[in-house]
């Protein structure tokens, strides 16, 4: 499942591609009937909170997208004078810039195809506020208030590993950032939230702010610290370590050499190192 950095990156890119002009919106698959409401409308900008993406249109309307487990955007580029190719397969929503003169684009432009989302709907700005209101603070939102997350965590008997994944507690953190942030903090994922100290929570929050911003900039999750990334090759090379515990069960911990473990918590896989994560 995409994590918050993916949605924030998409918001940034879609703003870059489409903001400041009208867009053509269609539903080749036919399941997004409301596309007609925004087709031809002025695209103002895109935002993201947690795992939700919003395309904001003039007139106070927004397209709300949640990718769920399987959804993704295909991004394409059309050269000057060319038509966008016909959609292939099940495209819920296609969006592309409109150039003066309609039809064929008179300049190079991007278009994107949305496939397999859990949600793709037109809502108004009150609806956007409602979605935002249901979510905990998002580490990628510069105005986020971590106190809101702390007030829930510090009163909960649930394990911190479960709380970090709960979108009502913290928005945008998924399985990878959850596992990696807990490892970097040395925190036992099964420790109840109520037993955490404020300084421990603050350290995790600050770490997520930093790690997820790297994710937005690069499009990938890299959590390895320089001492554990040996060699001179740039660390994003395919042969370089990128993370500590996620999907490394059975492999040696990069720090202590113990086996990375895998278990299930709230029906999701959880990866951790029992030797490093004892706090
Ligand atoms: Zn370890």
Asked whether residue 278 is domain-assigned, the answer is: no
190 shares a domain with 111: no
Span from the CA of 142 to the centroid of ligand 1 (angstroms): 32
**Residue where a domain stops, chosen among 114, 134, 154:** 134
Other C-beta atoms within 10 Å of 233: how many? Answer: 11
User: Given this model, what pLDDT does residue 103 score?
Assistant: 52
Residue 78 pLDDT class (50, 70, 90 cuts): confident
Span from the CA of 277 to the centroid of ligand 1 (angstroms): 7
User: Given this model, what pLDDT does residue 79 score?
Assistant: 77
Span from the CA of 256 to the centroid of ligand 1 (angstroms): 4
Other C-beta atoms within 10 Å of 260: how many? Answer: 23
Percent of the chain at pLDDT exceeding 70: 93
User: Given this model, what pLDDT does residue 51 score?
Assistant: 97
* Annotated catalytic residue 2: yes
The CATH code of the domain that includes 79 is 3.20.190.10
Q: For the chain, how many structural domains are there in total? A: 2
40 shares a domain with 62: yes
User: Given this model, what pLDDT does residue 239 score?
Assistant: 64
User: Given this model, what pLDDT does residue 253 score?
Assistant: 95
Asked whether residue 279 is domain-assigned, the answer is: no
**Sheet of strand 52-57: strand arrangement:** 72-78, 109-115, 93-97, 21-26, 42-49, 52-57, 61-66, 119-124
> Pick the catalytic residue: 24, 41, 51, 261?
51
Residue numbers of the domain that contains 180? 146-272
pLDDT (tens digit, 9 = 90+) per residue, 10-29? 999 999 999 999 999 999 99
Span from the CA of 171 to the centroid of ligand 1 (angstroms): 27
157 shares a domain with 229: yes
User: Given this model, what pLDDT does residue 108 score?
Assistant: 61
The CATH code of the domain that includes 153 is 1.10.8.50
Residues with CB under 5 A from ligand 1 (ion): 253, 255-256, 258, 273, 275-276
Residue 119 has pLDDT above 90, yes or no: yes
Residue 217 has pLDDT above 60, yes or no: yes
* Annotated catalytic residue 3: yes
93 shares a domain with 36: yes
| 235 Cβ contact partners less than 8 Å away, ≥ 6 residues apart | 222, 224, 229, 241, 242
Span from the CA of 84 to the centroid of ligand 1 (angstroms): 50
Span from the CA of 254 to the centroid of ligand 1 (angstroms): 7
**Residue where a domain stops, chosen among 75, 101, 134:** 134
pLDDT (tens digit, 9 = 90+) per residue, 122-175? 999 999 999 999 999 999 999 999 999 999 999 999 999 999 999 999 999 999
Asked whether residue 182 is domain-assigned, the answer is: yes
Cα–Cα distance for residue pair 183/189, rounded to 1 Å: 9
126 shares a domain with 51: yes
Mean pLDDT over each residue of the chain, to the nearest integer: 92
* Annotated catalytic residue 121: no
Span from the CA of 263 to the centroid of ligand 1 (angstroms): 16
Residue 234 pLDDT class (50, 70, 90 cuts): very low
* Annotated catalytic residue 100: no
44 shares a domain with 17: yes
User: Given this model, what pLDDT does residue 229 score?
Assistant: 78
**Residue where a domain stops, chosen among 134, 155, 178:** 134
State how far the alpha carbon of 58 is from the alpha carbons of 32, 37, 42, 50, in Å: 19, 11, 6, 23
């Amino acid at each position: 499942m995409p994590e918050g950095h993916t949605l924030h990156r998409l918001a940034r890119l879609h703003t870059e591609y489409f903001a400041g002009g009208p867009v053509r919106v269609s539903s080749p698959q036919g399941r997004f009937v409301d596309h007609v409401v925004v087709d031809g409308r002025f695209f103002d900008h895109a935002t993201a909170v947690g795992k939700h993406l919003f395309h904001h249109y003039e007139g106070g309307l927004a397209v709300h997208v949640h990718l769920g487990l399987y959804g993704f955007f295909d991004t394409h580029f059309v050269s000057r004078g060319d038509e966008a190719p016909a959609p292939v397969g099940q495209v819920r929503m296609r969006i592309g810039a409109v150039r003066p003169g309609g039809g064929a684009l008179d300049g190079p432009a991007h278009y994107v195809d949305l496939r397999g989302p859990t949600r793709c709907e037109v809502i108004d700005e009150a609806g956007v506020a409602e979605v935002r209101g249901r979510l905990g603070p998002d580490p990628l939102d510069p105005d986020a208030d971590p106190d809101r997350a702390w007030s829930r965590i510090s009163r909960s008997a649930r394990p911190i590993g479960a709380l970090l994944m709960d979108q009502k507690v913290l928005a945008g953190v998924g399985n990878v950032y959850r596992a990696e942030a807990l490892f970097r903090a040395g925190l036992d994922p099964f420790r109840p939230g109520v037993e955490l100290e404020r300084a421990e929570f603050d350290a995790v929050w600050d770490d997520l702010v930093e790690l997820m911003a790297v994710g937005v900039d690069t499009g990938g999750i890299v959590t390895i610290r320089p001492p554990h990334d040996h060699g001179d090759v740039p660390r994003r090379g395919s042969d370089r370590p990128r993370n500590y515990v996620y999907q490394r069960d059975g492999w040696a911990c990069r720090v202590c050499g113990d086996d990375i473990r895998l278990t299930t918590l709230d029906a999701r896989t959880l990866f951790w190192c029992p030797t490093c994560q004892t706090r």
